[in-house]
């Protein structure tokens, strides 16, 4: 038989052979399925107790500064900045160490150190003392959060990461809503020191729960090999040069990954808008809407309620929707919410014996829409970052993202007042709408992620 006929026969057989279908991707895990993973369940319990203590202490500090120390609005805003600033500054650096340190000891020691720092709040009696202690606590939080992200990724399968992140974020938002009233009750009935002691105990409880975990992480050699790095080249440098090289690798990975860069910028933009909302909603209700404090309370609650509803619906009905589609939808929803408040006309009509103002109704609806849409950015962005980032860089990338987010919140807190004084609150909301619209267009034109085949 000639070579030509052999090749022809082989090609004919190859053509007739049935192609092997690609294995179907597993269905996304629900929150209940994720919580059946023992390690994830204990991480969730630890998150509940520590975040509850955090918000309890934070609201207690704000209560003391407002009603006992008679602090100004700028000084009260400074409490949030004092807590956010160290994470924003140290975020890029802390991830370098988290990638090299063992995860569980990092989490446990961070919790126990913060438990001790919380007790220092018992000795503070002035504004700047509160700033210093909260900033010190934040320093160790900058190591805890990226390490927690590594632990979640090691504990949960890839198709369960969205539900895992949703569980963690739900804890944050529920405690943010519950923490204020509970802290006010404790301070009025007992004393603010009780809140600080509870916060310290919550960190000890969280650290103890995490210490009982059985975290299974791949060896460092396998992690580095999977990331395509040469161990010898990495180990050649020492000291500051080695740290700078690690930071450069993490930043280079983010800026050369268009899809990740887009979701990170989207997440930071959403947090910037939320930072603007905090100090401006009260002013907007008082000066623009000329409404009562009850309307301010309702509008603020709508943001938290929207977050909870958005995250819940995301896991119930959008399990198979692409992460990028959810991010675009979230950006559009936030832009829609800010636009409602920017253009809402002051028209009053009678409904029976009640006078209803259109701008008040649209403001409440806009606040709910903003909160609802933020969930569409936060959860998919965190999930995509965990899925796309190599294990060897997860700490650096996670902490860099954290730095961007907290920097955006600080910028929102600081710039919102400046822009409102130069223009108006409505104009600030219009600027936020335009910024988000530009980001959506830029994402579609230059940062649209490439679809990867399902393995």
- Contact 377/266 with Cβ under 8 angstroms? yes
In a domain, 436, yes or no: yes
In a domain, 109, yes or no: yes
Q: pTM of the entire structure? A: 0.75
In a domain, 231, yes or no: no
User: In terms of residue numbers, what domain contains 184?
Assistant: 30-217
For residues 147 and 134, what is the distance between their CA atoms, to the nearest angstrom? 20
In a domain, 452, yes or no: no
For residues 64 and 282, what is the distance between their CA atoms, to the nearest angstrom? 20
Of 267-271, 282-286, 310-314, 331-335, the range with the lowest mean pLDDT is 282-286
- 306 and 402 share a domain? yes
pLDDT band at 450 (very low <50, low <70, confident <90, very high): low
For residues 277 and 371, what is the distance between their CA atoms, to the nearest angstrom? 11
In a domain, 376, yes or no: yes
Of the residues 186, 217, 248, which one is the last residue of a structural domain?
217
290 pLDDT more than 90: no
CATH at residue 406: 1.20.1250.20
- 308 and 404 share a domain? yes
Cα separation values, 384 from 148, 229, 263, 298, Å: 16, 22, 8, 33
Determine the pLDDT at residue 106.
94
Express each pLDDT in 292-301 by its tens digit.
767 877 887 7
In a domain, 430, yes or no: yes
- Contact 266/330 with Cβ under 8 angstroms? yes
Express each pLDDT in 195-209 by its tens digit.
899 999 999 999 999
In a domain, 435, yes or no: yes
**Token output for 93:** 């650096």
Residue 407 DSSP label: H
Of the residues 217, 245, 270, which one is the last residue of a structural domain?
217
- 262 and 145 share a domain? no
For residues 53 and 46, what is the distance between their CA atoms, to the nearest angstrom? 11
86 pLDDT more than 80: yes
């Amino acid at each position: 038989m000639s070579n030509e006929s052999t090749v022809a026969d082989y090609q004919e057989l190859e053509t007739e052979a049935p192609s092997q279908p690609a294995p179907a991707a597993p269905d996304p895990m629900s929150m209940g399925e994720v919580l059946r993973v023992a390690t994830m369940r204990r991480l969730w319990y630890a998150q509940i107790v520590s975040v509850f203590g955090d918000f309890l202490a934070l609201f207690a500090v704000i209560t003391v500064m407002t009603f006992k120390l008679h602090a100004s609005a700028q000084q009260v805003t400074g409490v949030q900045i004092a807590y956010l600033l160290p994470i924003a500054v140290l975020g890029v650096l802390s991830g370098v160490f988290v990638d090299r340190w063992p995860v569980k000891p990092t989490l446990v020691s961070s919790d126990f150190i913060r438990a001790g720092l919380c007790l220092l709040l018992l000795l503070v009696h002035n504004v700047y003392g509160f700033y210093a202690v909260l900033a010190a606590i934040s320093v160790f939080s900058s190591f805890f959060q990226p390490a927690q992200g590594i632990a979640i990724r090691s504990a949960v399968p890839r198709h369960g990461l969205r539900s895992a992140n949703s569980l963690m974020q739900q804890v944050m938002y529920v405690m943010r809503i519950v923490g204020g009233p509970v802290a006010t009750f404790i301070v009025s009935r007992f004393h603010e020191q009780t809140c600080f002691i509870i916060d310290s105990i919550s960190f000890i409880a969280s650290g103890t729960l995490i210490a009982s975990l059985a975290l299974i992480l791949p060896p460092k050699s396998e992690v580095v090999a999977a990331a395509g790095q040469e161990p010898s080249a990495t180990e050649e440098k020492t000291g500051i040069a080695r740290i700078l090289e690690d930071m450069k690798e993490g930043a280079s990975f983010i800026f050369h990954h268009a899809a990740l860069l887009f979701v990170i910028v989207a997440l930071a933009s959403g947090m910037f808008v939320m930072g603007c909302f905090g100090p401006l909603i009260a002013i907007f209700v008082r000066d623009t809407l000329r409404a009562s404090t009850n309307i301010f309370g309702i509008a603020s609650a709508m943001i938290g309620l929207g977050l909870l509803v958005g995250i819940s619906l995301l896991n119930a009905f959008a399990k198979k929707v692409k992460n990028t589609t959810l991010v675009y939808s979230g950006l559009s929803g936030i832009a829609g919410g800010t636009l409602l408040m920017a253009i809402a006309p002051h028209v009053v009509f009678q409904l029976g014996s009640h006078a209803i103002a259109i701008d008040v109704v649209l403001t409440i609806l806009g606040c709910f829409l903003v909160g609802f849409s933020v969930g569409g950015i936060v959860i998919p962005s965190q999930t995509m970052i965990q899925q796309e980032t190599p294990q060897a860089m997860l700490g650096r990338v996670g902490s860099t993202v954290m730095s961007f987010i907290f920097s955006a919140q600080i910028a929102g807190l600081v710039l919102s007042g400046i822009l409102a004084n130069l223009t108006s609150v409505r104009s600030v909301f219009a600027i936020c709408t335009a910024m988000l619209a530009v980001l959506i267009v830029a994402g579609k034109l230059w940062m649209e992620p490439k679809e990867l085949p399902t393995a």
